[in-house]
Amino acid sequence: MTETADVVIIGGGIVGSSVAYHLTDMGCTNVLIVERAAQQGLGSTAKSAGGVRAQFATAVNIAMSRYAIDFFSRFEELTGHTAQYRPHGYLFIATRQAHLDYLETNRRIQAAHGLTNVQAVSRDDIISIIPQIISDDILGGSFCPTDGFVDPYSVMVGFAQRAKERGARVWLDAEVTGIDVNQGSVTGVRTSRGDIATPVVVNAAGPWAKLIAAMVGIQLPVEPLRRKLVHTQAFDAIPARLPMVIDMTDGFHFRREGAGVLLAWHDGRDEFTYDMTFDDEFIEKILTRATARVPAFADAEVNPRRCWAGLYEVTPDHHAIIGPASEVAGFYLVNGFSGHGVMHSPASGRVAAEWILDGEPRTIDARALGIERFRTGQLLHETAVL
């Protein structure tokens, strides 16, 4: 017998779980998450650095982050689980006047959109946060104390568990192989575990989203981009508590992860691929880069097995695509977070659930994230990309 559901969500990562949470929160409980892996969270969710920030340049990203930070700070009350939200801040460091001007412009945009706690910081302020830093070329920066980190896996579990308590179901080991469309409307989903009759399908397949969209004939501009993280062994030569530190010279950034440090850098060699192999040569490169800014990193030790590569799901304008796909009634997109899918998971779940149940996003004005923008040329311009 064919299974039925009011909404089928393809992909059980942090985004699909948030959509399920928000749908069930709004009273739609006959929701089925279909996940091809044997457990949830093995896609990009497990690879994330868990950074959360509101310091963005566009109204919609700032609004999504403000929703998220409020949500993460009340996560336990809302879901019964911890998000491990640590508001340790994000520190952007400018070494060029253009970057300092850019931070100043962003601060004005951020304040105009209700984010009023971003502070301009001086070189001395930066030295007081991380005394070991090479500072001769630093002109200043910006700091937001409510930015910080969460544990992506815990967030995903919190969303999924609460959704399940309200009636949602999760199929694991169930690969979606096709989507049925009749007279322009979704009617069902075919999976390796059996078929499901449903009028609504949500594409929450992360880096694999374009393959799901292709099943209904939609060309989704979301590409998988390999990104790498290097986790040092215990390292006590810099402060135990640090914000995310971003050197705007070239985007090199780092933060504390337990007793070690998580180092990240887009060295320009990442590529569109589904290959998640971590290339060991990258360790030497990033340590050289790290040492140029913080000489103490010369003594950091790295175990290659504690480094990894994962996939960003990137769009041409580095903004997510959220909303209905107009060509196919009942098919919704929650994709293309371009490195921000963990921090924007609460808002994207809310926006998607409102599109599905109310026909429009009400809590956050996220209409600008519709896929139509790629047809109409109304792309968004976000330059605060890591």
Binding site for ligand FAD (CB under 6 A): 10-16, 34-37, 42-45, 47-51, 175-176, 204-208, 227, 229, 310-313, 337, 339-343
CB atoms within 10 A of CB 347: 28
CB of 37 to ligand FAD, least distance (A): 5
Nearer to ligand FAD, 51 or 158 (CB): 51
CB of 17 to ligand FAD, least distance (A): 7
Distance (Å, rounded) from C-alpha 218 to C-alpha 184?
Answer: 12
CB of 344 to ligand FAD, least distance (A): 6
What does the longest C-alpha to C-alpha distance in the chain come to?
70
CB of 360 to ligand FAD, least distance (A): 22
Give 90's strand partners.
144, 244
Point out the residue whose Cβ comes nearest to ligand FAD. Answer: 341
CB of 99 to ligand FAD, least distance (A): 20
Nearer to ligand FAD, 207 or 361 (CB): 207
Mode of pairing for the β-strands spanning 201-203 and 194-197 = unpaired
Nearer to ligand FAD, 110 or 139 (CB): 110
In the block, residue with structure tokens 């049925």: 180
Quick check: 334 and 320 in contact, CB under 8 A? yes
CB of 47 to ligand FAD, least distance (A): 4
Element housing 179 (H / E) = strand 176-182
Nearer to ligand FAD, 125 or 257 (CB): 257
Residues in contact with 224: Cβ distance below 8 Å, sequence separation at least 6, in sequence order: 207, 208, 272, 273, 274, 311, 312, 313, 314
Q: At what angle do helices 345-358 and 152-165 cross, to 10 degrees?
A: 30
Nearer to ligand FAD, 48 or 146 (CB): 48
Instruction: Encode burial over 155-166: b for 16+ CB neighbours within 10 A, e otherwise.
Output: bbbbbbbbbbeb
CB of 267 to ligand FAD, least distance (A): 13
Nearer to ligand FAD, 207 or 370 (CB): 207
Nearer to ligand FAD, 210 or 373 (CB): 210
